[in-house]
Chains A and B, each alone.
Chain A
Amino acid sequence: MESFTLVRSALSVPIAPLQYMVSEPIQIFAYLKNIINTHDKLVSENLQLKANELLLQSQLQRLLAIESENNYLKSLLQSSHHVKEKMKIAEVLSVRFEPYMHRVVLNKGSQDGVYLGQPVLDANGIMGQVVQVGPITSEVLLINDPQSGISVQNTRTGVRAVVVGDSYSSNLRLMFVSKTTEIKQGDFFITSGLGGHYPEGYPVGKVVSVSQDPASQFAEVILQPSAHLESTRQVLLIWYQKHA
């Protein structure tokens, strides 16, 4: 099994140029569209971005203070866990799989240090994990794939659960949640960090419906992913724990 993964990752090298060949012209088109944008539009966009940055910076200052305080408290408790991670931006290749495949291809591979099982984020939350690494490309299994599972935690009540992808609605579903568990529509779920795969505290999704079917033993909780799984162009790769 181990050697087979190697074969597959080696075979991804002759395939990669074809993927780039499809992806590159589309990116160039997007770039050209950007160039011929009107001046006014760019100025207004710039202003908006500056305002946005100011807002984010102010929030960041508070977060930095909290983080240092948190690390200090943790060192007092002599816990070895520190909230520091290395990150890198990768780009999603404009390659379309069949509509029932919940995967994307990134333009970074083992040459950039990408490893199997690496968590991938976008600006709004967890996107998925790397399931196949080639030298120059890698493949990400999105969290709405039925094969993907993340351990999560409710931000309101602290209830832990495992979230899996739902292939029919391309949303997320909580597994084995008893009917008496306190979950409401609008609750946020973040990663709990228990599986060891995903770092702790990143948003995963928001509850859109809770239904209690008398015929089934568990409550059916549907989550909408926080990350924009279908439309994101740039994603963040995180080097987490022992890989950092």
Chain B
Amino acid sequence: MRSIIAVILTVMMALMLMLLPMPDWTVWLRPVWLLLVLIYWAMVMPYQVGVGVAWVVGIIEDLLTSSMLGEHALALSFVIYLVSSLHIRLKVSPLLQQSLMVLLFVLLYQFIIYCIQGFIGELPSSHLYWLSPLTSMLLWPWFFILMNDYRRWIRV
């Protein structure tokens, strides 16, 4: 029960960070908060947070951002499937290696979204689109430590 609440709280935070308007020069730099949160939980609690949770969260994201229904759900569940099948290796690897893996995951996620956007004819207008995997990677070590603290604080 406690762990469910912990996960829901962080997912809510990520959704709000996703919607928060930021200064114009940062629009393309925004890390993929939701994916980072889900990667973390799929890594440390792979039996509670898996593909199903990722799909539901993805549907909520689709509704919030009014993108095509199922677009983010597909991308998130695909990536989370990979994460949960690799969770043991991810957990024991050092932070630097983890962030490189996160870079790959986020790139894959962005690539799936890019493909779907291409199908419906609304491609991102700038190649700066590919910057957010980098910011996500750079943020990962701090994010990971913060989430670890949070998990210890809420005792799950």
Contact = CB atoms under 8 A, between A and B. Distances in A.
Interface of A: 8, 11-12, 15, 18-19, 21-22, 26, 94-101, 103, 105, 132, 139, 145-147, 167-170
B68 to A, nearest CB: 11
Interface in B49-108: 60, 63-67, 69
Contacts of A105: 66
B117 interface: yes
B124 A99 contact: yes
A96 B15 contact: no
Given A22-B20, A167-B125, 15 more contacts: A12-B63, A15-B60, A15-B64, A18-B15, A22-B16, A96-B22, A99-B28, A99-B126, A100-B117, A100-B124, A101-B67, A101-B122, A103-B66, A105-B66, A167-B121
Contacts of B156: none
B9 interface: no
Contact of B64 (A8, A18, A146): A18
A139 B66 contact: yes
| Those 6 A-B pairs whose CB atoms lie nearest each other, nearest first | A100-B124, A96-B21, A22-B19, A99-B27, A95-B19, A168-B125
Nearest to B128: A99
Query: How extensive is the interface on chain B, given as a class?
Result: 20 to 34
B21 A98 contact: no
Contacts of B15: 18
A100 B123 contact: yes
Nearest to A139: B66
B33 interface: no
Interface in B116-140: 117, 121-126, 129
B65 A97 contact: yes
A127 B67 CA distance: 20
Interface in B1-50: 12, 15-16, 19-22, 27-28
